């Protein structure tokens, strides 16, 4: 039974929102001379920062707390912490803008995706030219601007900080990993046809590790912990927790991309099927299908015009092979592995409890 992700902790979500507001005010002030069109561009970037579960910020905060309050139970959450958390949220918005463009997605969080919103603004302004092309080009630049903003805020947070070098190195690794993972994800949509069928699940897990497991959970945790001055033992414990939990998180995403309720996820039902995502769920399904049925699956995957009945057929096929059950078992196994990593770790007890709560929220969810 899928659950609902708990509402983000008000202290984390509110603090991050406050830092984002301060940063956006500064960006608007510094860009005021660029004119009305640039102001609208900045507003479009700001719009991408509203909503969401603030998952990365929450894990970053929890990583900081686990280390900082293990050493000093009165450690204070300062501006540097909240700015790093906010920088992560800006980078996530950049990733989503580019992801929606790559996947040709129309919606994000129940609203028009950034490229669709820019396309609509072109039309409503009565501008000449191809509105859709403008939306696509504008979203590339919008994502680039958000990446730059993320770097700007991170560097501001680390100015003069004793842990600047460690945090900066981890952040840079995160950017490289997720970008490489995103490329491997789109490459797999084409490369699967010349790859050994026995390697598909392993290749899909590699994508999950780079694109999501490290980026969504492990690296935000380590960024927060590093900011607090984590030692090697604490860092290793958090990595052993974060990476399997991140894999479980991505596998849950894969399940929701096929079986999720559009009213809850904010994305059309079966969106991953229309996009042709070669996930672990699909790899395990293909393993159990006879050649004729496998060919039908391969022909249907990636068809953007799949009807509701065709989506339903594919859902039933996946479930009938036992692939859904196998992925659910993998999610549970990864979650247990993550939980065990926290036992006996030199981390603050309350933070360990928070990490376990976040772990459940990341893997037992409906959106």
Token digits of residue 170: 């981890």
pLDDT in tens, 129-160: 999 999 999 999 999 999 999 999 999 999 99
pLDDT in tens, 267-319: 777 889 999 999 999 999 999 999 999 999 999 999 999 999 999 999 999 99
Burial class (CB in 10 A: 0-12, 13-18, 19+), 337: middle
Q: Which of 19, 54, 45 is nearest to 146 (CA)?
A: 45
What single DSSP character describes residue 267?
S
| pLDDT the model gives residue 351 | 94
Q: Please list the ranges in the chain whose pLDDT falls under 50.
A: 1-7
- Check residue 4 and give its pLDDT: 36
pLDDT for the residue numbered 2: 30
What is the predicted pLDDT for the residue at 341? 97
pTM of the predicted structure, to 2 decimals: 0.91
Phi, psi (deg, nearest 5) at residue 107: -130, 160
- pLDDT of amino acid 10: 57
Question: Under a CB-based contact definition with an 8 Å cutoff, are residues 158 and 167 in contact?
Answer: yes
Quote the pLDDT of residue 52.
85
Q: DSSP letter string over 148-217? A: HHHHHHHHHHHTT-TTHHHHHHHHHHHHHHHHHHHHHHHHHHHHGGGS-GGGHHHHHHHHHIIIIIIIII
Alpha-carbon gap, residue 352 to 342, rounded angstroms: 7
Contacts of 12 by beta carbon, 8 Å cutoff, 6+ apart: 54, 57, 58, 61, 85
């Amino acid at each position: 039974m899928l659950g609902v992700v708990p509402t983000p902790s008000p202290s984390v979500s509110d603090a991050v929102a406050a830092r984002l507001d301060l940063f956006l005010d500064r960006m608007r002030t510094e860009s005021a001379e660029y004119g009305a069109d640039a102001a609208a561009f900045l507003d479009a970037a700001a719009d991408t920062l509203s909503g969401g579960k603030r998952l990365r910020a929450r894990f970053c905060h929890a990583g900081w707390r686990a280390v900082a309050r293990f050493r000093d139970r009165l450690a204070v959450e300062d501006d540097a912490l909240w700015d790093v958390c906010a920088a992560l949220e800006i980078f996530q918005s950049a990733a989503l803008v580019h992801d929606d463009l790559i996947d040709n997605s129309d919606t994000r969080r129940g609203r028009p995706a950034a490229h669709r919103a820019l396309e609509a603004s072109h039309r409503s302004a009565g501008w000449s030219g191809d509105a859709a092309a403008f939306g696509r080009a504008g979203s590339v630049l919008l994502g680039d601007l958000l990446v730059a903003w993320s770097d700007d805020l991170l560097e501001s947070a680390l100015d003069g900080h004793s842990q600047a070098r460690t945090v900066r190195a981890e952040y840079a690794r995160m950017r490289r990993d997720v970008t490489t993972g995103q490329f491997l994800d789109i490459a797999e949509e084409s490369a699967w046809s010349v790859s050994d069928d026995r390697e598909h699940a392993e290749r899909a897990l590699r994508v999950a590790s780079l694109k999501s497991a490290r980026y969504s959970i492990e690296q935000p945790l380590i960024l927060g912990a590093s900011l607090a001055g984590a030692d090697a033992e604490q860092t290793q414990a958090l990595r052993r927790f974060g990476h399997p939990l991140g894999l479980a998180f991505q596998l849950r995403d894969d399940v929701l991309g096929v079986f999720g309720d559009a009213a809850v996820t904010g994305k059309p039902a079966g969106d991953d099927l229309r996009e042709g995502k070669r996930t672990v769920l699909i790899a395990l399904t293909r393993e159990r299908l006879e050649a004729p049925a496998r060919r039908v699956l391969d022909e249907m995957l990636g068809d953007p015009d799949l009807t509701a009945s065709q989506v339903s057929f594919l859902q039933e096929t996946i479930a009938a092979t036992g692939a859904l059950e196998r992925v659910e078992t993998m999610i549970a196994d990864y979650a247990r592995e993550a939980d065990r990593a926290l036992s006996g770790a030199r981390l603050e007890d309350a933070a360990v409890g928070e990490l376990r709560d976040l772990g459940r929220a990341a893997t037992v969810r409906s959106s």
